[in-house]
Amino acid sequence: MSWVVRLATSAALALILTGCGRSAGPAQHAGQLTVGFAQVGSESGWRSAETRMAQDAAKQRGVILKVADGQQRQENEIKAIRSFIAQRVDAIFLAPVVSTGWDEVLGEAREAKIPVILLDRPIETKDAGLYLSAVAADNTLEGRVAGEWLVGRLGGKACPVVELQGTVGSTLVANRKKGFQEAIAKAANIRIVRTQSGEFTRAKGKEVMEGFIKAIGGANICAVYAHNDDMMLGAIQAMKEAGLKPGKDILTVSIDGVPDIFQAMAAGEANATVELAPDMGARALDVLAAYRKTGQAPKFVQTPSRLFLPDTAAAEYARRKGLY
Amino acid sequence: MNGRNLPLAATLAVFVAAYAVCAARFPAFIGTRVPADLVTDNAFLGVIAVGMAFVVISGGIDLSVGAVMGFSSVLISLAVSRWGVPPMAAFLLAVGLGTGFGAAIGAAIHGLRAPAFIVTLTAMFLARGAGFLLTTEAVPIDHPFFRTVQDLAIRLPGGGRLGAVSLVMAAAFLAGGVLLHATRFGNSVFAIGGDRRSAELMGVPVGRTTVLVYAISGGCAALAGVVISIYTRAGNPLTGVGVELDAIAAVVIGGALLSGGVGTMLGALVGVLIQGLILTYIDFDGSLSSWWSKIATGALLFAFIGLQKLIVQLPRLSPRMAGA
């Protein structure tokens, strides 16, 4: 029988070594704020940058930030919020992976008197009292900025555009699409001829762009609009492989402002990007600090959506590459 | 002691040891809150694991359950919020469809003599596609019934809160346990998993049992869709991607043999809780990457497969222990 015991112990050890391997120590110090951050995941460079900048901002302010990576699953994020409540953190930051289904768990947070600040994405609820504040960009505005740049750049030249959408089903995608359409609605010379989902990834963006080039021919595409930079980087690859010159034969405009797109712009292979500022954690910490002092917080904090062009690309790349 | 119960003993030992380690580091683990959250947050996985236990013990595999869960959550949310179907009727419809779908899978596996892997993979694509056909976006459910069900939680002393969904999971495990361990049908499941040919020769109704096993699995997956629709008060076609693999891992960690013929319902439950525990620990720590949970689960799976190999080899090494 003794080998049974040995096996059970070694299996337990395996768990301890892998899952519970950190040395014990109290996480909470007197007077220091603890904030739990339920993050969507680490699916893109932007997402990782948001996490890292939130951690840095917390360190500067002497706040303990506990980050839970939801691996893009709502169940995991709900679990994370519950464990933050169980730990009695002072505040919870939530970057929701989907917009629905948060009422119950946020209700529990409210019951435990823990303020919740939403980051980056909105939630759908009838009870706005479930969260203290939301820090986010206006995704429709991002699409509009991208569209207005294209309108200005073309100056009336006829232009068939292909669109690489993000993962179907999110409000983010609907809004980036809507904003762009609003901007080009006034320009009769621009129309979207193809649109398909590239699922926000580089590989899928490349695949879809290859499909577009095969289906309608590279000469019949004048510009690409991608809902994020990663898909655009894939599309740039596809254009190069098809013997086209991205940035010259085909104009590009995308959203997010990740380092690699600045590198592509500096190399003349991309034309424009609209930045989604990744410093939302710092803004949320400021909202929280003000709330703890005055008891008041703005319901919505809008982050800027700035357009970046190749002229500043090299400098912007140097500034960002460490963050991502 | 029966050699075949050893994996279950090891599973229980791992769970207790891991919980003790977590409690030693984070005192919040002691009390009712964390255990109650552990059960509530993993209810959908638990319900799926009940069905998966039948499938694995019968020597099969069911890759369609995550997709069926997603489909059923979408169907329920649309039926309740758009088509005006009463919630209970929507639940029955979903579980009925899931059960029928599972029965068809079972019939295909038995009738076509096709590998379960391929048939259920096909079924997974079908169900996932059908979910997206219904809607491509998350559909929030706004119905007083859902609010009532959510408020049905049992409040434990010490802040713990057992949600209604945890009761559904408990009922599923009880019913599943009785069906598997105390009925003729349960014996047939073990028999065809142990040695299909011998079972057939002994007069076990292999066809009927196979159809029933997959019908139960499909029904459980649809019931998990009911659970997740109550839990998140929304239906989302993206729900449950990869959950089938978590369920298989839970059943195997719980001591079931992937080649069939061995396993317990209690083991599957503990397997689910161990996976939930690993994730809770990582959330509490707040600085570990959540992907450690995958690595820990992988390490555990590996340990248990090794343990099972040993037990299968055991009769040859020591004939005295084989008699049990």
The string of pLDDT tens digits covering residues A270-295 is: 999 999 988 899 999 999 999 999 98
**Does residue B109 lie in a domain region?**
yes
- Determine the longest span between alpha carbons in chain A, in angstroms: 84
* Buried b / exposed e along A30-53 (16+ C-beta atoms within 10 A): eeebbbbbbbbbbbbbbbbbbbbb
**Does residue B145 lie in a domain region?**
no
Integer CA distances (angstroms), A315 to A228, A257, A323, B285, in order: 21, 13, 14, 37
For chain A, positions 12-51, list CB contacts with chain B under 8 A. 12, 14-20, 22, 24-25, 27, 36, 42
Place of tokens 């910490």: A285
Higher per-residue confidence, A155 vs A308 = A308
Domain range for A16 is 3-136+278-302
> Is residue B244's pLDDT more than 90?
yes
Closest by Cβ to A101, choosing from B34, B161, B233: B233
DSSP B169: H
Q: Are residues A240 and A314 in the same domain?
A: yes
Q: Are residues A14 and A130 in the same domain?
A: yes
Q: CB neighbours (10 Å) of residue A214?
A: 11
Q: Are residues A149 and A91 in the same domain?
A: no
Tell me whether residues A68 and B300 touch, CB distance under 8 A. no
Q: Are residues A99 and A151 in the same domain?
A: no
Question: Are the CB atoms for A195 and A208 separated by under 8 Å?
Answer: no
> Is residue B36's pLDDT more than 80?
yes
Tell me whether residues B34 and A66 touch, CB distance under 8 A. no
**Does residue B110 lie in a domain region?**
yes
Mean pLDDT, chain B, whole residue set:
89
> Is residue B64's pLDDT more than 90?
yes
> Is residue A22's pLDDT more than 80?
no
Closest by Cβ to B286, choosing from A36, A70, A103: A36
Q: Which residue of A has its CA nearest to B289?
A: A69
Between helices B65-81 and B206-232, what is the axis angle to 10°?
50
Q: Are residues A171 and A116 in the same domain?
A: no
CA A97 vs. chain centroid, Å, equals: 10
Higher per-residue confidence, B251 vs A73 = B251
d(CA B68, CA B74): 10
- For testing the chain A interface, which of B12, B132, B290 should be mutated: the one with the most A CBs within 10 Å? B290
Q: State how many domains chain A has.
A: 2
Token duo for residue A291: 């709330």
Q: Are residues A78 and A120 in the same domain?
A: yes
Higher per-residue confidence, A41 vs A95 = A95
| Angle, CA of A68, A14 and B293, to the nearest 5° | 20
* Buried b / exposed e along B140-154 (16+ C-beta atoms within 10 A): bbbbeebeebbeebe
Q: Are residues A111 and A200 in the same domain?
A: no
Tell me whether residues B290 and A69 touch, CB distance under 8 A. yes
Place of tokens 């690699």: A260
Mean predicted confidence (pLDDT) in B1-10: 71
Query: A12: domain CATH number?
Result: 3.40.50.2300
Q: CB neighbours (10 Å) of residue A122?
A: 16
Integer CA distances (angstroms), B212 to A73, B178, B186, B216, B219, in order: 31, 15, 11, 6, 10
Interface check for A130 against chain B (CB to CB < 8 A): the answer is: no
> Is residue B100's pLDDT more than 50?
yes
Query: B56: domain CATH number?
Result: 1.10.3470
Q: Are residues A59 and A188 in the same domain?
A: no
Question: Are the CB atoms for B251 and B268 separated by under 8 Å?
Answer: yes
Token duo for residue B188: 């047939």
Min distance A182 CA to chain B CA atoms (Å): 22
For residue A322, what pLDDT is reported?
75
For residue A114, what pLDDT is reported?
95
For residue B322, what pLDDT is reported?
43
Mean predicted confidence (pLDDT) in A217-245: 95
The string of pLDDT tens digits covering residues B157-173 is: 877 888 889 999 999 99
**Does residue B324 lie in a domain region?**
no
Q: Are residues A159 and A46 in the same domain?
A: no
Mean pLDDT, chain A, whole residue set:
87
Out of A24-28, A115-119, A126-130, A293-297, least confident range: A24-28
Tell me whether residues B28 and A87 touch, CB distance under 8 A. yes
Mean predicted confidence (pLDDT) in B181-206: 92
The string of pLDDT tens digits covering residues B114-146 is: 999 999 999 999 999 999 999 887 788 888 888
Tell me whether residues A70 and B290 touch, CB distance under 8 A. yes
Mean predicted confidence (pLDDT) in A62-76: 89
What's the count of helices (H) and strands (E) in chain B, helices before strands?
14, 4
d(CA B208, CA A279): 59
Question: Are the CB atoms for A297 and A290 separated by under 8 Å?
Answer: yes
Interface check for A127 against chain B (CB to CB < 8 A): the answer is: no
Min distance A140 CA to chain B CA atoms (Å): 18
Mean predicted confidence (pLDDT) in A105-118: 94
**Beta-carbon pairs below 8 A across chains A and B:** 167
Closest by Cβ to A86, choosing from B34, B289, B303: B34
> Is residue A254's pLDDT more than 90?
yes
Interface check for B287 against chain A (CB to CB < 8 A): the answer is: yes
For residue A321, what pLDDT is reported?
79
Q: State how many domains chain B has.
A: 1
Place of tokens 């010379």: A189
Q: Are residues A190 and A126 in the same domain?
A: no
For residue B317, what pLDDT is reported?
56
Say what the pTM is: 0.78
Q: Are residues A151 and A272 in the same domain?
A: yes
Tell me whether residues A7 and B307 touch, CB distance under 8 A. yes
3-state secondary structure of B155: strand
For residue B218, what pLDDT is reported?
97
pLDDT class of A25 with cuts at 50, 70, 90: very low
- Determine the longest span between alpha carbons in chain B, in angstroms: 64
Domain range for B67 is 3-19+32-138+159-313
For residue A46, what pLDDT is reported?
84
For residue A32, what pLDDT is reported?
86
Phi, psi of A170 (to 5 degrees): -95, 155
Cα of first residue to Cα of last residue in chain A, in angstroms, is: 53
For chain B, positions 127-146, list CB contacts with chain A under 8 A. 136-140, 142
Q: Are residues A201 and A272 in the same domain?
A: yes
The string of pLDDT tens digits covering residues A38-60 is: 999 877 778 888 999 999 999 99
> Is residue A102's pLDDT more than 80?
yes
